[in-house]
Amino acid sequence: MSLTEEKKQSNAVPMVIVAGLFFILGFATWLNGSLMPYLQQILQLTPFQASLILFSFYIAVTFTALPSAAIIRKVGYKNGMALGMGTMMIAGLLFIPAAKTQIFPLFLLAQLVMGTGQTLLQTAVNPYVVRIGPEESAAARISIMGILNKGAGVVAPIVFTALILSGFSDTVGTELSQVQIDAMADKLILPYLGMALFIGILGFAVKKSPLPELASEEEEGENKGHLKEALSHPNLALGVVALFLYVAVEVIAGDTIGAFALALGVENYSVMTSYTMGCMVLGYILGIVLIPRFISQQKALMVSAVLGLALTGGVIFGDNNSFAIADSLSFILGGAQLPDTLILIAFLGLANAIVWPAVFPLALSGMGKLTSVGSALLVMGISGGAFGPLFWSLVSGTSGKAVDLQGGYIVMLPCYLFILFYAIKGCKMKSWK
């Protein structure tokens, strides 16, 4: 067996483990797309209050990304993953008293803890994908992990609907009685208990697994995690902004589509995130096939930004009473009658898919010993998921009417414009001068 074959074989098991972790990350993350309109319905929340469900989850990244990098330098990448999953287990258990009491701040606390665990796990697991294997093929590996992450996003809303929303489809657009509210809230308990136990067991298994430890910056020699040194690289600093804005539009498309569907009176609002995630999976597959054989990742990023701008315009100015797209795609949608605007939001998943796998390696290019700090900064970009839906809700107003929510999607336009700038110029900048 050659040295190359041995290295590929030695990398196979770690990549399988990491792939499983990306699926878990995706499942826990994209449950929010179903949870947000579900809690909005049973707790009778305004659009702004509902957006806090996403805000509390993603804002954890802002406060815990850099501390997560420090923890990983101290305990190692593998132990960092286990700690992240242990934190996620605690978050899952917090949903039980939240559901029993129906106290909104308890749900927000559970979301905050879940976001903290996710941040620690993300900070540990993303460098594995970049550093286990050649740097030039990192985008392809990230795309594969993205398929698993977003594939979990297809599955999670379906599982949520089957386990939690079954039997309550006739409640859309009606005023719920306290008995109905109690019954719907209680349905959250067993699924979140099961998820917490599963994640806890998996975290223990990861700690005992043969996952190799990556060399930390201290082991590589000179890096002391200097934040200023990392930010002196424009491709990284601008990449952080690009990922912040990208996650903002990704979460708006993936997690507000259910709330918009609820306002439009769509009964199966809780599965709408699956449509967006399905389009993202398709986008990842196209990325793997086309990049770099037929198109560079930089040009693919440009195409993604332009497509995002075009689709956003269609959502803002589209007709909520038109079903033309659903009629033409009935063989794919199984005859589901969905307004054009909803389907265009789902199509944003296609535009968003390539952004993360393209920006992450472009931003980390040339970082060397600063990879861990750079990765932590990029993971901080996930906090865009806190502010995107928040600004969407503020622009949408307090009425909760579909036409007002539709107008809120205008906040995505400047986000795609910056991503386009990064694709054209920002990723090439090696100096601020």
Q: Using alpha carbons only, give the angle 138, 141, 142 rounded to the nearest 5 degrees.
A: 85
Does any domain span residue 59?
Answer: yes
Burial (0-12, 13-18, 19+ Cβ within 10 Å), 250? buried
Yes or no: say if 377 and 240 are a contact pair by the CB < 8 Å rule.
yes
CA angle 10, 15, 18 (to 5 degrees): 140
Whether cis (ω within 30° of 0) applies to the bond prior to 292 is yes
CB 38 within 8 A of CB 163: no
Q: What is the pLDDT of residue 87?
A: 94
Rounded CA separation 403/330 (Å):
25
* 18 located within any domain: yes
Whether 20 is covered by a domain: the verdict is yes
| One-character DSSP codes across 43-66 | TT--HHHHHHHHHHHHHHHHHHHH
Give the tokens for residue 308. 């995002």
Look at residue 2 in the predicted model and tell me its pLDDT: 45
Q: Global pTM?
A: 0.79
Judge whether 18 and 129 are in contact, CB under 8 Å: yes
Q: How far apart, in whole angstroms, are the C-alpha atoms of residue 39 and residue 68?
A: 30
Spatial separation of the C-alpha atoms in residues 17 and 20, rounded to whole Å = 5
Residue ranges in the chain whose pLDDT is less than 70:
1-11, 132-140, 167-174, 212-226, 331, 333-335, 372
Q: Give the CATH number of the domain where residue 70 resides.
A: 1.20.1250.20
Are 236 and 419 a contacting pair, CB within 8 Å? no
* 219: in domain: no
Domain count for the chain, please give it. Answer: 1
* Helices assigned H by DSSP within 31-137: 32-42, 47-75, 77-101, 104-131
- Cα→Cα distances 254→142, 249, 279, 402, 418, Å: 19, 8, 10, 17, 20
Taking alpha carbons only, the member of 56, 74, 79 closest to residue 125 is 79
Q: What type of residue sits at position 81?
A: M
CA 138 to each of CA 151, 211, 241: distance values in angstroms, whole numbers, following the listed order = 20, 19, 21
Tell me the residue range of the domain where 407 lies: 3-210+226-428
CA distances from 109 to 79, 103, 346 (A): 24, 10, 29
Closest C-alpha among 125, 141, 115, 117 to residue 52: 115
Query: How many residues are recorded in the chain?
Result: 433
CA–CA dist 58, 66 (Å, integer):
15
Long-range contacts of 39-44 (CB under 8 A, 24+ apart): 39/104, 39/107, 40/259, 40/262, 41/171, 41/172, 41/176, 41/184, 41/262, 42/102, 42/176, 42/181, 42/184, 42/185, 43/102, 43/104, 44/176
> Does residue 216 fall inside a structural domain?
no
What are the φ and ψ backbone dihedral angles of 256, each rounded to 5 degrees?
A: -95, -10
Residue 109: per-residue pLDDT = 95
Task: Count CB atoms within 10 A of the CB of residue 298.
Answer: 16
